[in-house]
């Protein structure tokens, strides 16, 4: 995973817990939260971006639309990056989402939309 240059994440939807790869910790200068949750990403984003991400996740979980969103994040040292997040739900035998996992890539150099950061490709 380290060699890919991407960050990886997983959310246990039943427990509400999350796991973030070392990429996240290095990028945002975190020490790994003791009991991480998806909400630990919230301080990195604007209010609009956070809610757009949650809407996209909900759409994926309820309507099975692709989760693929670009957005701007504020890093600890004050600079910003554009990230592209991809993910997919793992579902039970009954079709209920149980886990959500995916990856994040820094796409700053590729020219994400600087007006909104909420491009969906």
pLDDT digits (tens, 9 = 90+) for 9-45: 999 999 989 999 988 888 888 876 677 889 988 999 9
Q: Within a domain: residue 81? A: yes
Q: Provide the domain limits for residue 7.
A: 2-110
Instruction: Tell me the three state secondary structure of residue 98.
Output: strand
Q: Within a domain: residue 118? A: no
Task: Provide the pLDDT confidence category of residue 99 given band limits of 50, 70 and 90.
Answer: very high
Q: Within a domain: residue 119? A: no
Task: Provide the pLDDT confidence category of residue 109 given band limits of 50, 70 and 90.
Answer: confident
pLDDT, averaged across the chain: 85
Structure tokens at 89: 């739900």
Total number of domains constituting the chain: 1
**Cα–Cα distance for residue pair 3/16, rounded to 1 Å:** 28
- Would the pLDDT of 3 be above 60? no
HEC readout, 24-47: HHHHHCCCCCCCCCHHHHHHHCCH
CATH number of the domain bearing residue 95: 3.30.450.20
């Amino acid at each position: 995973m380290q060699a890919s240059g991407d960050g990886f994440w997983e959310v246990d939807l039943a427990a509400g817990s999350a796991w973030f790869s070392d990429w996240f910790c290095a990028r945002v200068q975190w020490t790994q939260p003791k009991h991480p949750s998806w909400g630990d990403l919230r301080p990195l984003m604007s209010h609009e971006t956070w809610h757009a991400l949650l809407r996209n996740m909900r759409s994926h979980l309820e309507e099975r639309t692709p989760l693929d969103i670009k957005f701007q994040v504020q890093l600890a040292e004050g600079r910003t990056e554009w990230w592209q997040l991809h993910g997919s739900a793992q579902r039970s035998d009954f079709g209920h989402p149980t886990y959500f996992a995916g990856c994040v890539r820094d796409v700053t150099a590729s020219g994400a939309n600087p007006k909104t950061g909420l491009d969906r490709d």
